[in-house]
Structure 1
Amino acid sequence: MKLPGYYTSGEFAKMANISVRTVRFYDKQNILKPSYVSPSGSRFYTDRDFARLQQILLLKYLGFSLDDIKEMTINDADYHFMLNSLNLQQKLIKDRIEQLQMVEKAIQDTTEEIRTNHAVNWSHMLNLIHLTNMEKSMKSQYQNSSNISARIHLHNLYSENKQGWFPWLFEQCQLQKNMNVLEIGCGNGALWKENLSLIPEEISITLSDISRGMLRDTQREIGTKDSRFSFRAFDCHKIPYPDQQFDLVIANHVLFYCDIPQVCREVSRVLKPQGHFLCSAYGTQHMIEISRLVQEFDSRIILSAEKLYEKFGKENGAELLSPYFHIVQWKLYEDSLFVDTPEPIIEYILSCHGNQNQYLLDRYKEFRSYVAKKTTAGFHITKEAGVFLCQKS
């Protein structure tokens, strides 16, 4: 017997102008489950399911894969997930436009050369192949950038230190006119975007990252016309600059991902005598309440495959840095978070590098309700971050 306000699979598919097979496929893939399944196995859908289906079809049109859509929370209470995802897609589209413009020029150059010289320049053809393959790496690069933005978002909204991490970090840099500065692992460039008006006019700043996607994103934000900045993608284990080139090298939350001795040797090599190295780190108590929160919900969840502060942190950083720098001093950024709404915490958790999505996405509503209860009266989060200020002898 058909329930009032419910549609059969056939009626539901006809309303959306898709096949019943597609509806069943979305059900099987846990992308769109029916609101009711009868004892005989018949599936029924509601208007709310139809609204969700329209969102799924829109996201497919915009270029998201089914895996992307499954990981996106699509309801009015969590609009920021949709916004972040659409921003990511917009960046990919901009890159796609730039890529197609480069492909068009490469084709024009190759065609003109054949017409003029009656021969094929195979180096141009190889470049064309490289350009057409470039898109494959864009999504993963921008996903990393999106994850960084999610983590910064939580701190920007709820930090009790009103100065903010990046303005404070900028102060520690003590920039002066005519300095030559290098940041390794610049990420989304937030250090510079938030302090752009405070940067001296006569200065040279090189922003680098191993992710070309992040670097393109940062370059768009800062602008290509700002002559103070240059951008270069490379692995910081082998810095492609001559000895004694920079007055200051910055590594903001980078070293715990690296071979620390190798990177320190490279940084020391490219620093001028008396040059400075500024590198940030966490302490053992940093964001510890977040880890406890997810562990209490599901003990299998690990937000990071390794404890980053054990590799390089407040407690062991000086010992790791002292073989390469004459002076090593730790300076703490005094701050904590007080969060009274669940969404930014959930966004932060889903952006981490651990296994959380494996256990949370299929139980999202339950998890959101759990976090909402925890934040009803406000949720305190410890922050224990700072910088090591190092000087080359």
Structure 2
Amino acid sequence: MKKDAYYTSGQFAKKAHVTLRAIRYYDKQNILKPSARTAAGARLYTDADLAKLQQILLLKYLGFSLEDIREMTLASADQQYLLESMRIQKKLLRQKMDEMQAMDEAIDRTIEAIQTEQAIDWNSMLDLIHLTAVERSLKNQYQNAANISARIRLHREYSVNPQGWFPWIMQQCNLQPGMRILELGCGNGALWTENREQLPADLWVVLSDKSEGMLKDARRALGEDSRFSYKKFDCEKIPYEEEMFDLVIADHVLFYCEDIPQVLAECRRVLKNGGRFLCSTYGKQHMREITDLVQQFHKEIVLSAEVLYERFGLENGENLLAPYFSEIQMRRYEDAIEIAEAEPLISYILSCHGNQNQLLLNQYKEFREFVSARVADGFYITKDAGIFLCRK
């Protein structure tokens, strides 16, 4: 990089409209390290550091702790990761604006009620005031959205099967006009947005998730479409009457549920007689090369606190489903990943639910170099995923 692309600490602080003390503090806290130093040890920053500082300040504004921010900005030097992060931050800002607007309107209604001596709906006011507690869930929403984005990108852009996962899943659903469908754990609605042109006009689809943030993402992605409605609930207690749906879908959901038998019983209850239950999961070989890779760098890294396929996987799924459904068929999705770029793979690794981010905090640069060297000549990743298609 050319010398004139660097800023001294003072120039950087002035350009970013923060104090020099703040710049030094972020360096000390290992949140924003300088890109270089002079021979005398003075800090030097770049425009890329400005982009990371923007991310830090916005996350700080949204209420995250410095510890959270340190982990969430770990890979900000990677342009694609930063781009996805900016998009997610925009969604969070939009959500916060919606919440503040609702609070503003609630206060206006209360002021009007006081001025006109009308009865005040204090329960409604208290419910709205509790919107401020939603900020506590922003970290989870940020991480969920970032994780989903990282995983979808790796599979979508580097899989060898030209038919993507979501089109394949939709093909297995065999949708017919007039069907009533429930999806559990819909996430950002990718199953439907990626297959929108193939959907029958006459459908009634309920998209459910226990995350309000995910439901908002799905609603925004699908826009105004009368075929879709949205419901927040935990799938261990589905708030619908018996025999309401022709099809229930649980795409990579069951292994996250605390009480899998209870969820399966609920799915059976809300299905019509002859209705179908489609659930997807992984096998024990899925993405094993990634686990091997990270443990070669640091043997203590565990990418998942739980081995998900042991809870509900391709090897044991039929036994778990058998008490609730008949005509159980397992169908494997034939695919693999071939990649020669480090950044999408690193983003995927950081999206996992294990301890990798904490262990990589002070070694990210070395880890990136390690991964780059390993994938430079091509890197093959096994995909071992599929579905169970069951009938009530």
Deviation track 1:197-224 (CA, whole Å, cap 9, x = no partner) reads 111111100000011100100100001x
Correspondence list, 1:224-239, <5 A: 225-239=224-238
State the partner residue of 2:50. 54
1:55 corresponds to which letter in structure 2? A
Q: Compare 8-17 and 21-30 and name the one that shifted more.
A: 8-17
State the partner residue of 1:362. 362
Runs of 4+ in 1 over 6 A off after TM superposition: 4-12, 14-17
SS of residue paired to 2:388: strand
State the partner residue of 2:348. 348
SS of residue paired to 1:335: strand
Shift of the 166–53 alpha-carbon distance from structure 1 to 2, 3 Å rule, reads closer
Deviation track 1:289-330 (CA, whole Å, cap 9, x = no partner) reads 010010111100000011111111111000010000022110
Shift of the 10–384 alpha-carbon distance from structure 1 to 2, 3 Å rule, reads closer
Shift of the 43–17 alpha-carbon distance from structure 1 to 2, 3 Å rule, reads farther
Shift of the 70–141 alpha-carbon distance from structure 1 to 2, 3 Å rule, reads closer
Structure 2 regions of 5+ residues with no counterpart?
A: none
Q: TM-score by structure 2 length?
A: 0.91
Correspondence list, 1:283-302, <5 A: 283-302=283-302
Conservation of the 8 A alpha-carbon contact between 2:255 and 2:311:
yes
2:231, 2:12 → 1: CA distance? Answer: 51
Conservation of the 8 A alpha-carbon contact between 2:205 and 2:229:
yes
1:230, 1:372 → 2: CA distance? Answer: 44
Q: Compare 356-365 and 244-253 and name the one that shifted more.
A: 356-365
Deviation track 1:337-365 (CA, whole Å, cap 9, x = no partner) reads 11111111101000000000012232112
Conservation of the 8 A alpha-carbon contact between 2:31 and 2:69:
no
Shift of the 361–200 alpha-carbon distance from structure 1 to 2, 3 Å rule, reads same
Conservation of the 8 A alpha-carbon contact between 1:113 and 1:119:
yes
Matched residues, number: 382
Q: CA deviation at 1:109?
A: 2.0
1:384, 1:315 → 2: CA distance? Answer: 11
Conservation of the 8 A alpha-carbon contact between 2:7 and 2:46:
no
Deviation track 1:140-194 (CA, whole Å, cap 9, x = no partner) reads 2232122011101100001111011100000000111111000001111111010
SS of residue paired to 1:276: strand
1:322, 1:131 → 2: CA distance? Answer: 42
State the partner residue of 2:23. 23
Does residue 1:373 correspond to 2:373, yes or no?
yes
SS of residue paired to 1:117: coil
1:196, 1:12 → 2: CA distance? Answer: 47
Q: CA deviation at 1:370?
A: 1.1
Deviation track 1:240-273 (CA, whole Å, cap 9, x = no partner) reads 0011111100000011111110000000000000
Q: TM-score by structure 1 length?
A: 0.91
1:9, 1:245 → 2: CA distance? Answer: 63
Larger radius of gyration: 1
Shift of the 269–109 alpha-carbon distance from structure 1 to 2, 3 Å rule, reads same
1:130, 1:376 → 2: CA distance? Answer: 50
Q: CA RMSD in A?
A: 2.4
Shift of the 156–136 alpha-carbon distance from structure 1 to 2, 3 Å rule, reads same
The percentage of counterpart residues that share the same residue type is 53
Q: CA deviation at 1:44?
A: 1.3
Q: CA deviation at 1:32?
A: 3.3
1:79 corresponds to which letter in structure 2? Q
State the partner residue of 1:134. 134
Does residue 1:106 correspond to 2:102, yes or no?
no
